[in-house]
Amino acid sequence: MPASRFQPDAVFKPAVAGTRVRLATMVSSVVVGVMAVVVPVVVLTLNQHERHPPPWPVAFAPVVVLAVLAVVWVTARIRCYRVTAEELRVELPLRTVRFALAGLQSVAPDPGALRGARRIMGNDGVGAVSGRFRSKHLGWFRVYLTDVEHAVVLRWPDRCLVISPQQHSWFVDTLRRRLDLPH
């Protein structure tokens, strides 16, 4: 029986939001915030001389979009990465994503992990970067990170995962020791 079964869970905070996440969140918020002000003013101004009532749902649609953006931001944030004896858990506000550690071949820091990557599906930075991506460097991979500078790549024979624990060196060392992976 591996020694890791007798070790307590290791919990790692996500890295502080990096430039990509801060910029995506800020730009999205500003664009939607401006729309929430400008669209209602334009709709109400253009409709001021009409005899029928103004289209309130259209005028306040940006406010709904701003609320949706806020929900995306809150639910996309990563609470922690938890390493148990058998799996890595990415804990989000409304769910936990689990990755079995069995068969993990390597774990290594890689600040260039997202360089040249294309998002196939997911969130490209509002609150966190998460989803499915593809690049020449990593192939198809999943991402749950807050800062590309703290990116850690985990590779299995059939999949790849990129995360960003705040203390990425400690995370890499912990996983390597638990699973007897090469350094």
DSSP string computed for 64-93: HHHHHHHHHHHHH---EEEE-SSEEEEE-S
pLDDT digits (tens, 9 = 90+) for 57-111: 766 777 788 888 888 888 999 999 999 989 999 999 999 999 999 999 999 999 9
Q: What's the rounded mean pLDDT across residues 114-134?
A: 94
- Residue predicted with more confidence, 32 or 108: 108
Residue 53 scores a pLDDT above 70: no
- Domain spans, the chain: 11-183
Q: What's the rounded mean pLDDT across residues 111-130?
A: 94
**pLDDT for residue 20:** 92
Q: How confident is the model at residue 1 (pLDDT cuts 50, 70, 90)?
A: very low
Closest CA to 164 of 111, 119, 91, 123: 111
Q: Which parts of 24-176 are beta strand (E)?
A: 80-83, 87-91, 96-100, 106-109, 118-124, 129-135, 139-145, 152-155, 160-163
**pLDDT for residue 5:** 54
Residue 112 scores a pLDDT above 70: yes
Proportion of the chain above pLDDT 70, given as a percent? 90
Q: What is the pTM of this model?
A: 0.84
Residue 170 scores a pLDDT above 90: yes
